[in-house]
Copies of this chain bind each other. A is one copy, B any other.
Amino acid sequence: MRTGLLGGSFNPPHHGHLAMARAAQAALGLDRVVLIPAARPPHKPLSPDMASPHDRLQMTRALAAAGGPGLEVSAIELERLGPSYTIDTIQELRRLHPGDELYFIIGADTVGELPTWREAARLLGEVRFVVVNRPGFDLEAGLAVVADRLGAAAAARMREHVVTMPPQAVSSTEVRRRIREDAPGWRDLVPPGVADVIQAERLYGRSFVTTFTTIDRLAEHAGQRVELRGWLYKQRGKGKITFLHLRDGTGVVQTIVNREQVGEQVYERLKGLMQESALKMRGTPRKDERAPGGVELDVDDLEVVAPAAGEYPISLQEHGIDFLLSKRHLWLRSSKQHAVLRVRNEVIKAIRDFFYEKRFLLVDAPIFTPSACEGTTNLFEVKYFDEFAYLTQSGQLYMEAAAMAHGNVYCFGPTFRAERSKTRRHLTEFWMVEPEMAWAGLDDVMDLAEEFLEAVVGRALERCKEDLKVLERDVAPLERVRRPFPRITYDEAVKLLHDKGHAFEYGNDLGAPDETAISENFDRPVMIHRWPQQVKAFYARRDPQNDALALAVDVIAPEGVGEVIGGGERAVDLAFLEQQIAEHKLPKEAFEWYLDLRRYGSVPHGGFGLGLERTVAWICGREHVREAIPFPRTIYRKDP
């Protein structure tokens, strides 16, 4: 069978397409011409007045019907994802119709573009081209480009089948222009069946946009037709109307599906459709103040892409936390988890922007470490080829090396603690950001810590309003996270505890209840500085005014959240550190490199570490840090 192929956007199809098909058909005695609407024309950007694939298919079918026998339509390109390349189409058609002789019909004005098509040379070998020319058009210019890029033989092949037809006073652009501008006579340019589709679907009008959009931007498209892609969150039907909640990763929207609008057949498919089925929906967003997000979608077309294979394991009822964690890959889809991870995303970006703008150099600390930073307990051991390595607990010592090299630096990556304790504050794998500054003292560290926290919390408040609403977070306590933070000494903190009647022994570290009791006295984070040296790490600098104290600081967040930042000034004196390493019975050899930093240009320096998950949990008002990380790891859980 001699088959002509005519591809294009068909946006919309018009009399010109018909004329072209017929001219080729007559000249070459073709048995049929197949019209092939392109899903995404590779040489045209997606434009706001590109009708949806569904509409273009409908219109092209109407065009073929108007053209009579010998005209067919293929959805072969529409069914493929991504851009449509002619070479792919040709190959598939050859496979589907091995006996056909294929003739690919193109306009003369397109010939010069051919060398830019995908695998153009190969394409010329696989199919005969029919060039439809019009009197007076300079076809030779286009053929010269082909000859130049693909060789003289290619140009010669193109010249084999040239058909000339009278110029057409119609183009898709012109049709759209007339419709958009309410210009008369647009109906004259297309067959009546095509005009019917345009009218029924209200295509190309002033408010016409057929575009894929996302739920968070739906309100911007109020009154315009759009397509949404997402998953069924819940539905409730009521006779002819079904309310269907769709989620797409940017939000959830209520859509209204009316049986009369979408047709009996589509409407029936909704029955029994289970949660998390994948859908494409088309329709018109309508502002409604009562709706969440202020907008609803009136659906006029709907496609079930993948029905859920069974009942969704996480239904809307309550589940135990162990069950939810075992289904974390699905639990992520729920609105609150979604909101928490969006806040996490924003907090991380705020942290990185903060340091980038302050010109702190990001120096990633290694995960594999040969030795422990703060003692050998709680370390994860890894078989490292024929030896053992340990997963990092903190990048700080490496940041000290980096600060001596680059001034102000930070690292931000996962850290690990093999803690057997199962509390709401602990994960075995968590992210920590650790800035370190050369030429800085304890006060500089505190200055940085308060500026940093204010910036990060402020950014989340500014850009995560909707997410914090979903989480029902009272933002008033967060709005008070403004500089200056109160700064009290450890001694003062202990006195405060004693004044409140707390039993607390001077010299101990603060426990969670102690931190909570202290933080209750302040309306914002409080910085506790100058700690008994024995509760802080060996590398902490001693207070020159009191050798029993370390120049360290903890920042305690309010609302019972507890420590979110720990840091301080580091010892600069070589002899002091050597003595510390001996007293703590640490292997000196493993710290030789660290001691080098005191041998070659030791300068005052300091920094801090902030636990990301605690910070995110605090901002989100979640009690447990495990919700603040996508895939939490605890003593009892390392999957999925």
Interface residues of A (CB under 8 A from B): 80-83, 88, 91-92, 95, 118-119, 212, 214, 229, 231-232, 248-250, 275-278, 305-306, 308-310, 312-313, 327, 329-330, 332-333, 337-338, 341-342, 344-345, 348-349, 352, 356, 359, 361-371, 380-385, 387, 389, 391, 398, 401-408, 413-414, 416, 418, 420, 428-429, 431, 438-444, 487, 492, 544-545, 569, 572, 574, 590, 593-594, 596-604, 629-631, 633, 635, 638-640
Once the chains are docked, how many angstroms separate the CA of A352 from the CA of B341?
A: 16
On chain B, the residues within 8 Å of A83 by CB distance are 443
- B639, A82: Cβ atoms closer than 8 Å: no
- B366, A429: Cβ atoms closer than 8 Å: yes
On chain B, the residues within 8 Å of A414 by CB distance are 364, 367, 413-414
- A638, B384: Cβ atoms closer than 8 Å: yes
**Chain B residue nearest in CB terms to A116:** B484
**Chain B residue nearest in CB terms to A361:** B345
Once the chains are docked, how many angstroms separate the CA of A631 from the CA of B367?
A: 9
- B249, A408: Cβ atoms closer than 8 Å: yes
* Smallest CB-CB A-B distances: 4 pairs: A82-B443, A81-B441, A249-B407, A593-B640
Rounded to whole Å, the gap between the CB of A526 and the closest CB of chain B is: 14
Q: How many monomers of this chain does the complex have? A: 2
Rounded to whole Å, the gap between the CB of A467 and the closest CB of chain B is: 11
- B366, A405: Cβ atoms closer than 8 Å: no
Once the chains are docked, how many angstroms separate the CA of A639 from the CA of B368?
A: 8
Once the chains are docked, how many angstroms separate the CA of A270 from the CA of B563?
A: 46
- B545, A88: Cβ atoms closer than 8 Å: yes
**Chain B residue nearest in CB terms to A247:** B405
Known: A341-B363, A342-B361, A401-B640. 16 other contacts (CB 8 A): A80-B441, A81-B443, A229-B603, A232-B601, A249-B403, A276-B601, A306-B603, A310-B599, A329-B597, A332-B401, A337-B405, A344-B362, A345-B361, A348-B362, A382-B391, A384-B638
**Chain B residue nearest in CB terms to A309:** B599
A406-B631 contact, Cβ under 8 Å, with A356-B349, A593-B329, A639-B370: no
Once the chains are docked, how many angstroms separate the CA of A359 from the CA of B418?
A: 35
- B306, A366: Cβ atoms closer than 8 Å: no
- B332, A633: Cβ atoms closer than 8 Å: no
- A630, B402: Cβ atoms closer than 8 Å: yes
Rounded to whole Å, the gap between the CB of A176 and the closest CB of chain B is: 26
Once the chains are docked, how many angstroms separate the CA of A229 from the CA of B249?
A: 49
On chain B, the residues within 8 Å of A370 by CB distance are 638-640
Once the chains are docked, how many angstroms separate the CA of A380 from the CA of B385?
A: 9
- B381, A362: Cβ atoms closer than 8 Å: no
On chain B, the residues within 8 Å of A88 by CB distance are 545
Once the chains are docked, how many angstroms separate the CA of A362 from the CA of B345?
A: 5
Q: Which of B312, B364, B544, B638 contacts A431 (CB 8 A)?
A: B364
On chain B, the residues within 8 Å of A362 by CB distance are 344-345, 348-349
Q: Which of B329, B381, B428, B572 contacts A596 (CB 8 A)?
A: B329
Once the chains are docked, how many angstroms separate the CA of A604 from the CA of B229?
A: 11
- A638, B229: Cβ atoms closer than 8 Å: no
On chain B, the residues within 8 Å of A631 by CB distance are 365-366, 398
Once the chains are docked, how many angstroms separate the CA of A591 from the CA of B248?
A: 24
Q: Could you name 18 residue pairs across A and B whose Cβ atoms are closer than 8 Å?
A: A81-B442, A81-B444, A249-B361, A278-B601, A306-B601, A308-B601, A330-B405, A332-B406, A338-B405, A342-B361, A365-B630, A369-B638, A370-B640, A380-B382, A380-B383, A385-B418, A387-B638, A593-B640
On chain B, the residues within 8 Å of A638 by CB distance are 366, 368-370, 384, 387, 389
